[in-house]
Structure 1
Amino acid sequence: MTTAPSGTAPAAATATAVPVSGLPYLGSGIGYRTEIKDAIDSPANRIDWLEVITEHYLFAPPDVRDVLHRLRRRFRIVPHGLELSIGAPREPSPRYVDALAQLVDEIDAPWFSDHLCFTRAAGVALGTLTPLPRTREIAREVGRRAQRVQAAVGRPLILENVTYYIDLLSPLSEAQFIAEVMEHCECGLLLDLTNLDINARNHGYSATEFLDTIPVERVVQVHLAGGTGGEDDRMDLDTHSEPVPPAVWGLLGELVGRAPVRATLLERDQNFPEDFGELQAELDRARLILDSGWDMRAGTRAEVR
């Protein structure tokens, strides 16, 4: 992967992204996975939108890209990346950013997302979502870099909180670090409520105080999933393999009471149930909670569709 020197803008056409407050309401969606593609294709199932893994399509041949074009006829699609590596000390690859801008434009995505972390160092792919040292200096640089990427792609970038299993001593808490990043960009947040729940339990902090600290008005989308662990003093793990747990549903209810969240996304990567009805029930529950938040406000969902 080619990298640009630190401090330079990605080589893509600069455009102005839509402000977070102007983004559309998408509803209750699911991550597109080949294991459930037949259920997703079925018009009998109630799915509002799809999230796809950016790197599966970024440099893909036309026949693979055609899958997106077919899905786009029925669903709004949002690309969710793993390799932007926004927290790396160098700017993201101009080739990557240019291809990302083309993909986002091709499917008319309302926004694109990636993780608040780094996945590459000294040109080496680390193969994991590595958390960042939580300092104000790093937060400022990450925020500014995210702003440059958002401008290059021309659509809103929303950044996701990640799970971490070792917490090094840092000047800022996780929530303070996220808030500081947001001070230096106009990007949105993808709040993974499962990651929040896991981190809060593994590292002994309050998920509610986390929500008190971050700018919840910048939360555009949430991720919902189920993990494993938590027994015999073991850490909880973010496996995307189980039903969404009660604590995460509770956090979703609390969040939508605070902010006009645009979309929920059910993440399941393994242990898919034989009956898609189990996932459909979670999709319907998420939609009901999401809509309840909008119903509490004077505005209607029609205003942001």
Structure 2
Amino acid sequence: MEKVRLKIEKLIYGGSGTGFLEGLPVFVPMTVPGDEIECGIVKRHRGYAEGVMLKMLGPSPNRALPKCEHFGRCGGCQWQHMDYASQLLWKQLIVEEQLKRIGKFEAPNVLPSIPSPKIWGYRSRIKLHKDGQGRAGFYAGGTHDLIEVKECLIADVEAIKRTPSFFTQINQEQNEVLRTEVAAAVKGLGAETVLELYCGNGNLTFPLAKVVKNMTAADSSRSAIDNAVKEARKNRVKNINFICQPSKAVMNHLARFHNKFDLLVVDPPRNGCKEIIEGIKRLRPEAIVYISCNPSTLARDLKDMGAFGYVLESSQPIDMFPQTFHIETITKMILKQ
């Protein structure tokens, strides 16, 4: 194995640190910007290399002592070895880097990350795996090798008992912040008629309904929509029209009949909303609020939207997932007149 001295300069989406070997990026897990390490080159690719830390030569001042005995083997957390202020900063910088590199935005307005009220014990649900011997635990990073665990420090004590039939946010306290921030963004845009796609069980729909005149909210999950309709009836919310249809079908139908909306709100899964880009082009809402959990697909989709007249106003990272590289963002796009 080739051994080199490497200084870690940045973090990438996925969690690894990056150093440069004669200009070649080398991605090294479990490192922090500022670390000086002896690195073993595991594999060279065209344009980058994969490495592993063999020896710490000089630790970064931003290093922290991991709390979990399984950290480094369990695939659940990637950043327990870094102080929380640095986690927040690098989430902001990673969103900015993705918007520049993938989205081709020269100077994206990425705001400082909103911290989580809790950085431990915040997960409201977890998924444990079992092996043939009946042991329960998590998979090691990048494998199906089971690591038996007795507790998870980022999960609350009741997490294992919760198994919702549709998607819900895992960080309940930070979810309230998310709902408040999205509602404030929509209210600030002055929208009256709103289309929300990938609405789930109405997590964002109900706070938005309080600040707009009329909403149409759609999701492909029957159980999620049924739950949302029950919630609306229970609370006598009458300005929401729920639709159980895939987002692409909804967009095509609305565009065909020339429906108009002031604002589009999307909260797609990790693979983004590429399926509705053509529908956005036809519907042309005045503004878009895009909630994303993947800055790479966010940047790709925003680039496509920019091609037919939308400009990036701001992107707000919100930390739903402390101790990990995962990033939630609220991004506003405005249609140029």
User: Does the alignment reach a TM-score above 0.5?
Assistant: no
Structure of higher CA gyration radius? 2
More helix by proportion, 1 or 2? 1
Compare relative contact order (CA 8 Å, sep 6+) and give the higher one, 1 or 2: 1
